[in-house]
Chains A and B, each alone.
Chain A
Amino acid sequence: NAGVTQTPKFQVLKTGQSMTLQCAQDMNHEYMSWYRQDPGMGLRLIHYSVGAGITDQGEVPNGYNVSRSTTEDFPLRLLSAAPSQTSVYFCASSSTGGSYEAFFGQGTRLTVV
C-alpha cells in the first residue's frame, strides 16, 4: 500500500545546480500537487495538475517546473537552485471521486547552500 512516494528524502544542492524531485502515486488519482513548507508559513502551493498533460501554477511557482506525462508521476524540477528554495517539499494526490481527501508523501528536505 505505497500511496504517494517521494524521492529523495534528503538533498543538499549548491546554488545554481538543478535537480528533479520525484513523486509517484499508485491510487490512480487525477489530481496531483506540489507544496513547500517553511517555518511559520504553513504549506504553499507551487504547481498542480488535474490530469495527464495538464498543469498549472500555484501560489509560488517561480523557479520550478513541472510536467505530467502519466497519471502516476508528477516530477518537480528546480532549474537553478537558490538558497531561498531551501524548504521541505510535499507532493499530494487526490481523486475527483468524492472523498475530497488529499494524500501526502513523506516529504523531501532540500537544502541549498
Chain B
Amino acid sequence: AQSVTQLGSHVSVSEGALVLLRCNYSSSVPPYLFWYVQYPNQGLQLLLKYTTGATLVKGINGFEAEFKKSETSFHLTKPSAHMSDAAEYFCAVSDRGNTDKLIFGTGTRLQVFP
C-alpha cells in the first residue's frame, strides 16, 4: 500500500530564508507525486506535481521539488521565504493515472517570521 511521510508537523523560518519541507513516500511502483498548499479556511491548491520526465519540477509561487527515486523523496523547497507563504503544505501520492485516489501526508504548517 502507498503511504506518505512528512517530517515535521511545524516548520518556522525567517522571511528571506530557505524553505525546506520534507516528504518521503512508499510505493511499489513509481507513483505520481504532488504538493498542495492550504491557506487558512480554504481548500487545497496544487503547488506542483511530478508525473514523468524531468525530476526537478517547478511550481507556483517560486516553489520547486525534486523527485529522487533512490531516496523515495519529494522534498519541497523555496530559496527565499515570504510572509505570504505561511500556510499548511501537504504532500500526496497517487497511482499512476488514478488521481481519483490521493494518499496524503499529515501536513506541515509553515510559519514565516519577519
Instruction: Write the residues of chain A forming the contact surface with B, with a CB cutoff of 8 angstroms.
Output: 4, 31-33, 35, 40-45, 48-50, 58, 90, 92, 94, 96, 100-102, 104-107
Contact = CB atoms under 8 A, between A and B. Distances in A.
A100 B46 CA distance: 10
B114 to A, nearest CB: 27
Contacts, number: 65
Contacts of A41: 106
A43 B93 CA distance: 12
Interface residues of B, number: 26
A48 B100 contact: yes
Given A100-B32, A105-B43, A50 B100 contact: yes
12 contacts: A4-B43, A42-B104, A44-B104, A45-B102, A45-B103, A48-B101, A92-B44, A96-B97, A100-B32, A100-B49, A106-B43, A107-B43
Contacts of B99: 31, 94, 100-102
Given A35-B102, A41-B106, 5 more contacts: A31-B99, A42-B105, A94-B99, A104-B44, A106-B42
